[in-house]
Structure 1
């Protein structure tokens, strides 16, 4: 095998470019949400559903994606399904009401569903297992440029050409990323077991999924994975923009600037935890520490009065940084599954990520909508309830996760190619 660093640079660069488009779509409506609400007359509840639909589509398609990854390989799965994101982005640009926006977001979610999981399958086959969390953090971090593009750059571009044309541009970028990915991505090394695998019957394929779901360790890890990214995306990906407008009176550009730095912090958090996973002896204790830190920051956000803009910005940025510890869970999940179930295992685990985002973003819509005034804004109390509710949910998930086993061995090894 070639030098691992050379292979890692090639693979991670390629996969990250494809992942940029997926990440843009995740966060793309946060900064423009008030503009969309004003133009199309959306309620807070409807906005919550539009935002969360992307993630419920993700969640629904994770099991099929896992099956496709194991049967057909990441290359065909990623590039084939991403075409739906191209169509969905174009549909979002043309949407005229709540139902059309929701349908378009669903298509985008289907298209983006295989990108990260396919990437994790690829790096698990090409690169060493002991650096899996670090490599994952690189893909998540570099791909996070898409989240950054969804903040200040989107705010500026929206002011220039309107939010609809932003999604036409995104559609074009997605199409280009598909072509680039198809030319570069390879499923596994030439001597890897993937190429000589026996294609399972559909009964055996579904039986593998059922076995994964029944696994006790999977269930415990699934629980914490349900709330980590969902908590982050409830604020960074949707309600943060409304909070900064309703409570602090910030305009589109000012909101975009703060969301920009929050997104940078999310990316930094992925790198931070990816590095710590390589130096800390206990992954479980690291996850617990990260969750407790997140709870503390949410309680502070839900308890303080209106403060200066720089103070609330600092708190939101710290929350975004310390709350993004999902790379640790994906590394723990990877240790549960054998090679033949790898695609299905991590994709099924990833269902929790996007199901959680849908549920928590939608929950935010109902909470804030309950407090909303006639002019469509919501008072500080609404966001206090949201922050404290998220803190309580993370706390419950942590208690359940605490019953899981330590997943980190003294020296993790890559699965042998056969």
Structure 2
């Protein structure tokens, strides 16, 4: 940019570019969650047990988590548009592979492709927000991006289940790939990195500079606070939506497939409604964000305790309460990105955001694998589907992760506050005397 004030970005143009980029994230969430509501059918198609089924989601999420920091570096180099196009193409390829897969290796490879493409999408949209909108609007639009993206989970619930049961596996996932391809074409046509003529790409980073930026971001207490916030708030709702919620409702609670998919849809709608409220509270009370994190975590743990301790199958109102509380987990995890924005300069946002985004997905991977293992251990051989007792033992593993996350949030919140207080106490620099 040349010297002088930056030109005003037309609101309609900004809204159009953000809306199309957001549709790419909606498609990514759709692809990401498509396995969750088809888990029972996937187990039958590939003839696998619970632990083996978990490897599908673990492969997808592990790649997503591992790619966050590299994607941040690539994003600074190539810009959002190229990353969104590459990510969309990878997810379409993954869904096409999943549509024709009949063996476990190809199915896992398909989920890896989905995870790679998914990893490139969310932070690319956040970078578009930073370029196209004024800074004061960034927190709300970041929350809206994360929240509205969950519309993809609605497409991945009732419609996909209905199509799967009506037309079969291959047709359902081929249609899913076609949806992704359509969105990809719109992104190619409408998304630009910036509203200005100059490029949003940067020079090729050196390994030394990448290490230096990552090290500084990692040693910033606010970044660690963001990571553990993302860790403790996200995993329960994410695992429920991505894989184990649908089997728990159908096999454990005895709901019909349509009723279970409907509850997952209610969960998504509640996420859409709660996101703006969480954003408003964070903007209104920035020094009380950790209180909100602890409240969300405690409420989730308490409702799960009621569900797991209920004698027999839980009543409908309790399952509804569970999905409503889980719906707040996603918006709650976005508070972690707000911490990254608060405690890091713009030049480190890519690195800090990538680090934060690892937290919740690492916790989700651990829980997905743990639930699968416990279900296999507690389901007698030859019985087939796990029963309610097996699911109770499996979901009890969550309390270990909640305890770890809560302790770390408290630890790094205090460290961030001490760092902030020390910086505020530093005296103003004394001007040097004029040279005689």
Give TM-score, length-normalised by structure 2: 0.86
**Contact 2:229/2:333 (<8 A) preserved:** no
**Contact 1:74/1:119 (<8 A) preserved:** yes
Going from structure 1 to structure 2, the CA distance change for 1:308 and 1:59 (only over 3 Å counts) comes to: closer
Going from structure 1 to structure 2, the CA distance change for 1:71 and 1:260 (only over 3 Å counts) comes to: same
2:77 counterpart residue number: 71
1:363 equivalent in alignment to 2:370: yes
Quick check: 170-179 or 153-162, which moved more?
A: 170-179
Quick check: 272-281 or 237-246, which moved more?
A: 272-281
1:166 equivalent in alignment to 2:172: yes
1:58 equivalent in alignment to 2:25: no
1:177 equivalent in alignment to 2:183: yes
2:120 counterpart residue number: 114
Q: Which has the higher contact order (CA 8 A, sep 6+)?
A: 1
Q: Which runs of 5+ in 2 are unaligned?
A: 1-6, 421-436
Going from structure 1 to structure 2, the CA distance change for 1:25 and 1:344 (only over 3 Å counts) comes to: same
Quick check: 122-131 or 138-147, which moved more?
A: 122-131
The one of 229, 240, 243 aligned to 2:234? 229
How does 1:4-403 map onto structure 2 within 5 Å?
5-190=11-196, 195=200, 199-281=204-286, 282-307=288-313, 309-324=315-330, 325-373=332-380, 374-403=382-411
1:416 counterpart residue number: none
**Contact 2:32/2:118 (<8 A) preserved:** no
**Contact 1:298/1:390 (<8 A) preserved:** no
Q: In structure 1, how many angstroms separate the alpha carbons of the residues matched to 2:360 and 2:125? A: 16
CA RMSD of aligned residues (A): 2.4
**Contact 1:16/1:140 (<8 A) preserved:** no
Quick check: 203-212 or 360-369, which moved more?
A: 203-212
Detail structure 1 runs of 4+ shifted over 4 Å in the superposition. 194-199
**Contact 2:56/2:108 (<8 A) preserved:** yes
Q: In structure 1, how many angstroms separate the alpha carbons of the residues matched to 2:368 and 2:248? A: 13
**Contact 1:66/1:348 (<8 A) preserved:** no
Query: What secondary structure does 2:81 align onto?
Result: helix
The alpha-carbon deviation at position 174 of structure 1 amounts to 1.5
Number of matched pairs: 407
Q: In structure 2, how many angstroms separate the alpha carbons of the residues matched to 1:180 and 1:305? A: 51
Quick check: 110-119 or 358-367, which moved more?
A: 358-367
The alpha-carbon deviation at position 179 of structure 1 amounts to 2.1
Deviations 1:325-384 (A, max 9, x none): 112111111223322222222123212232222222111111222112323222222222
Which structure: larger Rg? 2
**Contact 1:148/1:260 (<8 A) preserved:** yes
Query: What secondary structure does 2:343 align onto?
Result: coil
The alpha-carbon deviation at position 309 of structure 1 amounts to 4.3
The alpha-carbon deviation at position 167 of structure 1 amounts to 1.4
